[in-house]
Amino acid sequence: MPILSPETSLFPEGLLDRPEVGTQTDERWWALYSLPRHEKQLMRKLHALEASFYAPLVPKRSRSPQGRVRVSHVPLFSGYVFLYGDATRRHTALTTNCVSRCLEVSDGVELTNDLRRIRRMIEVGQPLTPEALASTVEGVAAALREGYVFPDKAEAMAQSILGKLKAGTYDTVTNEAALANRLTDDLRAITHDKHLGVRLAPRGAETAARPGGMLHNDADQARRENYAFRKAEVLPGNIGYVRFDAFLESEGAQEAAAASLAFLANCDALIFDLRNNGGGSPEMIRFITSYLFEEPTHLNDMVDRQGSVVSEYWTLKEIPGKRFASDLPVFVLTSKRTFSGAEEFSYNLKNLRRATIVGETTGGGAHPVRSERVNDRFIIGVPFMRAQNPISNGNVEIGPDYKTDPDLTDKGNLKGKSFEFSMRLADSKIFRGDDSTRRMPFCLLRLQFGHGC
């Protein structure tokens, strides 16, 4: 059974052994929230920059198509890397292009103690007793039956893992972290729902893993990050381009969105770059989408597990600034990192025939989710509602209208290698005229994927 070498998850190696860590005034902990599936890339870049950090990794077993079992190492806290240093180090981390948000930790001592406990737990490989194993599997099954958005699938998942428990399938799982990964894999094998997952989170240590609690001044940090709006510019050919990496819900986020779209109000076409957008607030999705429709438009509904519509989402009657013309060509760039609310935004526009989707098939996580405690050691993320499109009555990962590789540098090509996308005139309203077969470069621009658009 091959074991894949783990990344450097703690640098320097003795960071958590230093008694002054967490108590200094000039250095502090920062919680870096990475772009989707960028945790290891961020760790590698921080290591190369000799920045102090910790990102707990735990072993995960998987099976290749040939049936070989291998062990890899995955982040214990998906999306999070903890950086230790001063404000200069924080700025350095933000230059890696792997960070979506950076949150300051107010109680450095408490976080340090939590991270030390987590490290010890991973090192000793906290063993599973038969009682703990049964309690966890039964608790996960109960949480699914009570809350998962699709009752029939909830029952199928519950019966599956309870059957495996009874059959002794989980008896070979040796520690808690491995159990969390195994249960997550087993549940997703049935539903393919990437919002669904079991996580090892000892009671009292949750604040070390998610924003809130000790993570200080979220509003100020969001402001410093410009509410995840990275770029708004006018490209050659009077093409508007805006990139934002999250749909944050706040007055400041709406102001940032309104300012970005106002800057692009006179463009002849508009590109939304969601290749690194991990989702967010349905209200922010509605706010931005409202700029693209001149008439009231039904976007989607939120439906509970009984099939009842909990809320309807329509475009807003009033927005700051002016709306874009209804025939303005709109494009959405997607990747496998486009997730959750960003998928909803893309799915709505695709079904309403308001945008052309270009890129990769999206990540596949379309349901609102909440955390339920299973016992003192584990938490499960349970999708409890679903977004339902009024046209398709569906809600799935988004297949693009035009498939492309959204990041050529990931395929071993030279950084900054250019990429041209062509489409028929009939597929784009940008090029006016009678020649419906003429092919033109996508939006008259060459996307420089190594440096963004």
Nearest to 230 by CA among 46, 95, 406, 349: 95
Contacts (Cβ under 8 Å, ≥6 apart) of 174: 125, 127, 128
Tell me how far apart the alpha carbons of residues 215 and 122 are, in angstroms, rounded to a whole number.
23
**pLDDT value of position 408:** 34
Tell me how far apart the alpha carbons of residues 75 and 42 are, in angstroms, rounded to a whole number.
12
Nearest to 193 by CA among 365, 441, 68: 365
Which residues face 231 on adjacent strands? 243
3-class SS string, 365-386 = CCCCEEEEECCCCEEEEEECCE
**pLDDT value of position 123:** 66
* CATH topology (fold) of 10-124: Alpha-Beta Plaits (3.30.70)
Residue ranges per structural domain of the chain: 10-124, 130-192, 225-448
End-to-end CA distance of the chain: 43
> Taking the model in full, what pTM does it have?
0.66
Tell me how far apart the alpha carbons of residues 70 and 62 are, in angstroms, rounded to a whole number.
5
Nearest to 85 by CA among 105, 56, 64: 105
> Peptide bond preceding 12: is omega within 30 degrees of 0, i.e. cis?
yes
Tell me how far apart the alpha carbons of residues 279 and 334 are, in angstroms, rounded to a whole number.
12
Q: CB of 227 within 8 A of CB of 256?
A: yes
DSSP string over 242-268? EEES-B--SHHHHHHHHHHHHHTTT-S
Other C-beta atoms within 10 Å of 77: how many?
A: 22
**pLDDT value of position 6:** 62
Give the residue ranges of DSSP H helices in 192-229: 218-224
Give 123's Cβ-side CA count (13 Å radius).
8
Digit-by-digit pLDDT tens for the chain (453 residues) are 344 456 789 999 889 988 888 887 789 999 999 988 889 999 999 999 999 999 998 777 666 666 666 667 888 888 899 999 998 999 999 999 999 889 888 888 888 988 988 887 776 556 678 888 999 999 999 999 999 999 999 999 999 999 999 999 998 887 888 898 899 999 999 988 888 899 887 775 544 344 333 333 467 778 888 999 999 999 888 899 999 999 998 999 999 999 999 999 999 999 999 988 988 888 999 999 999 999 999 998 888 888 888 888 999 999 999 999 999 999 999 888 888 889 999 999 999 999 988 888 888 776 788 889 999 889 999 999 888 877 777 666 567 776 766 543 333 333 443 334 444 333 444 443 444 333 333 433 334 333 333
CATH superfamily of 225-448: 2-enoyl-CoA Hydratase; Chain A, domain 1 (3.90.226.10)
User: Which residue type is seen at 435?
Assistant: D
- Tokens 């621009």 -> residue: 445
Other C-beta atoms within 10 Å of 48: how many?
A: 9
Nearest to 385 by CA among 335, 289, 314, 312: 312
Q: Is 66 exposed, middle or buried (0-12, 13-18, 19+ CB in 10 A)?
A: exposed
What are the φ/ψ torsions at residue 176 (nearest 5 degrees)?
Answer: -65, -45
Are 10-124 and 225-448 the same fold in CATH?
no
**pLDDT value of position 59:** 74
Q: Is the dihedral of CA 419, 424, 428, 431 positive or negative?
A: positive
**pLDDT value of position 421:** 42
